[in-house]
Amino acid sequence: MSQKIKIDSLCVKEYPDQRTTKPHQLPLYATSSFVFEDAEEGIDIFTGKKQGHSYSRYGNPTIDTVAQKLADLEAFGTGLNAYGFLTSSGMSAISILMISLLKQGDTVLTQSDLYGGTTELLLKVLSNVGIKVIFTDLNNTDAVEQHCLNDRSIKLIYFETPANPTMKCIDIHSISKIAKKYGAFTCVDNTFCTPLIQQPLSLGIDFVIHSTTKYLNGHGNSIAGIIIGHEEKIKHKIWTTLKLMGATCNAWDAWLINNGLKTLSLRMAKHAENAMNIAIWLQKHPKIKRVNYNGLEDHPYHEIAKKQMKSFGGMLSFEIDLPLNEVLNVLNKLQFCTMAPTLGDVDTLILHPVTSSHLNVDKSQREANGITDQLVRMSVGIENQDDIIADLSQALQ
């Protein structure tokens, strides 16, 4: 301190950072704001003349570092210079991107078997501000092109592949080609795959969304999302929307994501190995009516998945050939697997979509897409697969 101050003031004042060498791990910048050297520096940062941090809603070193790492993973080997914006959740990532790209009168073309929360966002929130939605079979490329030709208000084609929870796959490259022809943006929710299994940017997609809460973190201890893109002319618009709507991630959750990423490669390999073996076991069980796992050669979307995915991931769903009340009894008998409304953790998680994630989706829309009362979604963990199978076996008896 340049002047002598009282002891009670000394308690309040921040001391200079005593760091002398570079930390081995990314520091957690738990600060709401950053100090300017002088008034002129503050002006330069706020006017964009100089790059710098000012307020953590606008940017934070922990958050920005992790966002760029995730963007680099999505763009790895593509030659693209990708950027990323971490948000407060996967849903906020979807919301911020759509609000950034769309205006009143614009239309989103999408699939009818989206995650239930995304379907509700489109129908109950974005529709209120004049953004329309068309649901169609995105694998029917003739129909997709016809929609784009007949309705020039379509400004975004948004999809999940594999879809949650049906595991339906969509040909990414085919959709990106049609969208470019008609001047529409494209966005893929890549949460189920992570960039280690699937890289939509390499197939011509404009934006990728993740709920980082899931596989990227992998340990079920943070909630966040990310928007990843490479179109520089849209970058500032997304940042402005994110900043003004206040849906930014916080440094703690970003730091937790960064820790999880260090084992992502090992985890995804084990998730995929376990899921394949459990899918094969389920397929042979007399009480299982259908197994949705793209790694099975007789699965209707196996060839599409094989073309654009490096492995088949850790997610699957299956139908139990029993009435609803007995399906719920089977789930209640599980002892090793955990019933929880999330996915992508290291332990095996079970969810009943009709009574949870897709509860508020219209029943006719659910059933038309195979989301029946009997359908169970399974996020296969990295435990010993014998323990997972033993639990399923005893519950199904």
Catalytic sites, residue numbers: 57, 115, 189, 214
User: Beta strand 185-189 with 207-211: parallel, antiparallel or unpaired?
Assistant: parallel
CB within 8 Å of 56: residues ≥ 6 apart: 29, 31, 32, 33, 63, 248, 250, 251
Q: Give the separation between CA 339 and CA 48, rounded to whole angstroms.
A: 48
The b/e string for 150-188 (b: 16+ C-beta within 10 A; e otherwise) is eeeebbbbbbbbbbbbbbbbbbbebbbebbeebebbbbb
Tell me if 296 sits within 8 A of 280, measured CB to CB. Answer: yes
User: Three-class SS of residue 74?
Assistant: helix
Q: How far is CA 397 from CA 9, 234, 271, 351, in A?
A: 70, 54, 25, 19
Q: Give the separation between CA 95 and CA 148, rounded to whole angstroms.
A: 22
Q: Give the separation between CA 163 and CA 74, rounded to whole angstroms.
A: 19
Residue matched to tokens 């359908």: 375
Amino acid in position 343: L
